[in-house]
Structure 1
Amino acid sequence: MIAPQTIVMRGRSFSYMDFGGPGHPVVALHGTFGRALQFGQLAQRLAPDYRIIALDQRGHGLSEQGGTFSRSDFVADAAEFIRRLELAPALVIGHSLGGVNAFQLAAWHPDLVRAMVLEDTPVVTDASELTQPVVDTTGWPPPAATRQKLAQSFAAMEMPAFGYFMDSAVERDGTWTMCFNYADMMATQYGNVGRWWDDWLGSAQPAALLHGALSPLLSAQLAAGMTAERPGTELVEFPGCGHWIHRDDPSGHALAVRTFLDRVQA
Structure 2
Amino acid sequence: MKRYSFSSKDLELSYVDTGEINSKRGVIIALHAHGMEASTFATFTEKMKSEWRIIALDQRGHGFSEHAATYRREDYINDILNLFKHLRLDKAVLLGNSLGGINAYQFAARYPDKVQAFIIEDAEVNINADMSFTLSWGGIFRTKDELAASIGPRMLPYFEESFRKVPGGWRLPFNPEDIMKSVSCVNGDHWNDWLASKCPALLLRGQDSRVTTKEQMEEMATRRANTWFKSLRGGHVLHQDNLDEFTEVVTQFLIKCAAPEFLKAG
Paired residue total: 255
Of the three residues 68, 71, 90, the one matched with 1:69 is 71
- Which letter does structure 1 place at the counterpart of 2:130? V
Matches of 1:86 and 1:161, distance apart in 2: 36
Q: 1:194-205 counterparts in 2 under 5 A?
A: 194-205=188-199
Displacement after TM superposition at 1:174 (Å): 4.8
TM superposition score normalised by structure 1: 0.91
1:153-192 deviations in whole A, cap 9, x for unaligned?
Answer: 322xx5x332112232111225210000111111111111
Corresponding residue of 1:221 = 215
Tell me, yes or no, if the aligned pair for 1:26 and 1:53 is still in contact at 8 Å.
Answer: yes
> Which stretch shifts more, 164-173 or 9-18?
164-173
Corresponding residue of 1:90 = 92
Tell me, yes or no, if the aligned pair for 2:125 and 2:191 is still in contact at 8 Å.
Answer: yes
**Alignment of 1:265 onto 2:253:** no
Q: Which has the higher helix share?
A: 2
Matches of 1:199 and 1:146, distance apart in 2: 43
Q: Indicate the SS of the match to 2:184.
A: helix
Q: 1:131-150 counterparts in 2 under 5 A?
A: 133-136=129-132, 137-140=134-137, 142-150=139-147
Displacement after TM superposition at 1:59 (Å): 0.6
- Which letter does structure 2 place at the counterpart of 1:8? S
Tell me, yes or no, if the aligned pair for 1:60 and 1:179 is still in contact at 8 Å.
Answer: yes
Displacement after TM superposition at 1:54 (Å): 0.6
- Which letter does structure 2 place at the counterpart of 1:90? A
Matches of 2:162 and 2:184, distance apart in 1: 20
Of the three residues 228, 231, 241, the one matched with 1:234 is 228
Corresponding residue of 1:28 = 30
Matches of 2:47 and 2:258, distance apart in 1: 18
Corresponding residue of 2:247 = 254
Of the three residues 207, 211, 228, the one matched with 2:201 is 207
Matches of 1:40 and 1:56, distance apart in 2: 13
- Which letter does structure 2 place at the counterpart of 1:169? F
Displacement after TM superposition at 1:243 (Å): 1.0
Matches of 2:15 and 2:141, distance apart in 1: 26
Tell me, yes or no, if the aligned pair for 1:144 and 1:175 is still in contact at 8 Å.
Answer: yes
Q: Indicate the SS of the match to 2:189.
A: coil
Corresponding residue of 1:166 = 160
Corresponding residue of 2:54 = 52
1:122-159 deviations in whole A, cap 9, x for unaligned?
Answer: 11112xxxxxx21113333531233233213322xx5x
Task: Among all aligned residue pairs of Structure 1 and Structure 2, give the percentage whose two residues are the same amino acid.
Answer: 33
Structure 2 segments unaligned to the other structure (5+ residues): 260-266
RMSD of aligned residue pairs (Cα, Å): 1.5
Structure 1 segments unaligned to the other structure (5+ residues): 127-132
Matches of 2:89 and 2:37, distance apart in 1: 20
Displacement after TM superposition at 1:242 (Å): 1.4
Q: Indicate the SS of the match to 2:75.
A: helix
**Alignment of 1:182 onto 2:182:** no
Tell me, yes or no, if the aligned pair for 1:241 and 1:249 is still in contact at 8 Å.
Answer: yes
Matches of 1:40 and 1:138, distance apart in 2: 27
Tell me, yes or no, if the aligned pair for 2:202 and 2:253 is still in contact at 8 Å.
Answer: yes
Matches of 2:15 and 2:193, distance apart in 1: 26
Matches of 2:79 and 2:256, distance apart in 1: 28
Displacement after TM superposition at 1:19 (Å): 2.8
Matches of 1:71 and 1:236, distance apart in 2: 27
Matches of 1:88 and 1:261, distance apart in 2: 18
TM superposition score normalised by structure 2: 0.91
Matches of 1:201 and 1:43, distance apart in 2: 29
Tell me, yes or no, if the aligned pair for 1:26 and 1:51 is still in contact at 8 Å.
Answer: yes
**Relative to structure 1, is the Cα distance of residues 147 and 4 closer, same or farther in structure 2, using a 3 angstrom cutoff?**
farther
Displacement after TM superposition at 1:4 (Å): 2.1
